[in-house]
Amino acid sequence: MNARLPVNILIGAALVAVVMFAALLSAIWTPYPYAGIDVANKFAAPSGAHWLGTDQLGRDLVSQLMAAAGNSMGVAVVAVGIGCSIGTALGLLAAAKGGWIEELIMRLSDLGFAFPALLFAIMLAAAFGPSLSMVVIAIAFINIPTFARVTRAAANQIWRREYVFAARAAGMSTFAISRDHILPNIAAPVIVQATIEFAVAILVEAALSYLGLGAQPPEPSWGRMLAEAQTLMYLAPQLAVWPGLCIVTAVLGFGLLGDGLRDISDPRLARRRPA
């Protein structure tokens, strides 16, 4: 693996770094309070004071985009984190136990797959009221079967390795083998999957907030900013452009990064690549 890193990883990582930096920075600093309303100064043009100008209520656009990045990343990290933890645990269990337990977990995963994410989120919002927490739960839920499948498929391969047989012969428990031998060896595909799921999570959060089912005012969200900009297309088209660009940047960044990571972690693809 002395080859140069693929271009898609480099571009993806750079985009992700920008979004991550903005998100982390927004936790401690934004140029203005993101919800700071100054109606007299609405639709201000970009300037030294407001780098991208202000929105229809005079709120600083940069501050809102940064805070929205924080929200978006927060939702993605927590939701994918939960989905990944539960899904991976279930996948490991399925691979380790086999038999009816494996069957059950995999069939339940199929069931989970059959559920469209947006529909599930809309159902949750209808039942418990729209909020970012509901978005997190919805995204986490749809991530569980994905990770369960990826983990199980990878883990089943590792279970057939000689060192696992050896560990078993030495009397190691199934749990200990899963923890010490299987998990470290399946980390690569799980991380790749998590990166791709990040992109999906960001998109789902934006879509739900756009529909009014996610972030509630004044919580910042790219999707909500897009929705609010919709009727302002004639007066101030830039208000739709910036959050749109942010969504594209984040989704493209995680997408490229995930694809690139998969390329270098997949031995079949790696072998095909010229040295």
Partner 1 sequence: MFTRFNTGAAALAAVALSGTLAAQTAWAENAVSIGFQQEPTTLDPTSDATAAIDGIVTHNVLESLTTVNEAGEVFPDLAESWTISDDGLTYVFTLRQGVKYHDGTDFDAEDVKFSYDRAMAEDSENPTKDIFKPIAAVEITGPHEITMKLNNKDAFFLFNIARGDASIVAPESVDANKTAPIGTGPYRFDGWTRGDRLTLVKNPDHRDADKVAMDKVTFRFISDPAAASAALLAGELDAFPGFPAPEMLPQFEADPRFVVVVGSTEGEVILAMNNAKPPFDNLQVRRAISHAIDRGAIIDGAMYGRATPIGSFYPPHGPAYVDLTGQYPHDVAKAREMFEAEGVSGSTMTLRVPPFPYAMRSAEIIQAQLAEAGIDAKVENVEWGFWLDEIYKKQNYDMTIIAHTSPNDMRNFARGKSYFYGFEDPEFTALWDSISTEADDAKRTSLLQDGQKYLAENAIHGFLFQLPQLGVYDARLQGYWSSSPVLFEPLSNLSWTQ
Question: Toward partner 1, which CB reaches closer, 203 or 207?
Answer: 207
Residue 234 beta carbon to partner 1: minimum distance, rounded to whole angstroms: 4
Residue 215 beta carbon to partner 1: minimum distance, rounded to whole angstroms: 12
Report the alpha-carbon angle 197-198-202, nearest 5. Answer: 115
Query: If you count them, how many residues does the chain have?
Result: 275
Question: Toward partner 1, which CB reaches closer, 239 or 261?
Answer: 239
Between the alpha carbon of residue 264 and those of residues 10, 17, 63, the distances in Å are 13, 20, 37
Residue 225 beta carbon to partner 1: minimum distance, rounded to whole angstroms: 13
Residue 243 beta carbon to partner 1: minimum distance, rounded to whole angstroms: 16
Residue 216 beta carbon to partner 1: minimum distance, rounded to whole angstroms: 7
Closest CA to 186 of 208, 144, 157: 157
Question: Toward partner 1, which CB reaches closer, 81 or 218?
Answer: 218
Task: Using CB atoms within 10 Å of the CB of residue 6, give its burial: 0 to 12 exposed, 13 to 18 middle, 19+ buried.
Answer: middle
Question: Toward partner 1, which CB reaches closer, 8 or 216?
Answer: 216
Question: Toward partner 1, which CB reaches closer, 178 or 209?
Answer: 209
Binding site for partner 1 (CB under 8 A): 35-37, 39-40, 42, 56-58, 211-212, 216-218, 230-235
Q: Which residues have C-beta within 8 Å of that of residue 21, sequence separation ≥ 6?
A: none
Task: Please give the single-letter amino acid code of residue 170.
Answer: A
